Amino acid sequence: MDPGSRSLRSLGRDDQLGTEAARRATREVPGIPRDAEGPVFREPWEAQAFAMTLALYERKMFTWPEWAATLAEEIKRAQGQGDPDTGETYYRHWLNALERLVAQKGVTDAATLARYQRAWDHAADRTPHGQPIELQPHDFHHHD
């Protein structure tokens, strides 16, 4: 595990994410960066993306095989567009897969997702490394 990586435990997410659910996801979805304890993340937003996916899975929005197939398609698409596939972009593909599944399931529309992604990016930009990212109302009114 490289020094920049953090486990769920060190990110303080055990209270929100059952470690058993995280381990199950790690077994079911190929390619998740991991160590002996389970998944590891380079940045807090990666853990947030993982947590959102677990929460939606637990609401029965999709099965793990369905998730793994969507993620594999996103990775393949990115590679076709020249993604270096060094592992650093893994959770970018993860977020793209999450957006696709959420839109396909009709939970929300693409415009709403794009709005949340811009707000999330803005919140991430102003958040010091290692701190939890918290969306605030003004993040939704920020224009690039």
Q: What is the DSSP string of 120-131?
A: HHHHHHHSPTTS
Sole residue written with tokens 């807090």: 44
Domain definitions of the chain by residue range? 43-107
Q: Compute the CA torsion angle 131, 54, 25, 47 (nearest 10 deg).
A: -10
Please report the pLDDT score of residue 10 as a whole number.
46
Q: What value does the mean pLDDT take over residues 82-94?
A: 85
Number of neighbours of residue 125 by Cβ within 10 angstroms:
10
Please report the pLDDT score of residue 123 as a whole number.
73
Q: pLDDT band at residue 102, thresholds of 50, 70 and 90?
A: confident
pTM of the model: 0.63
Please report the pLDDT score of residue 112 as a whole number.
66
Report yes or no: 100 and 66 within 8 Å, Cβ to Cβ. Answer: no
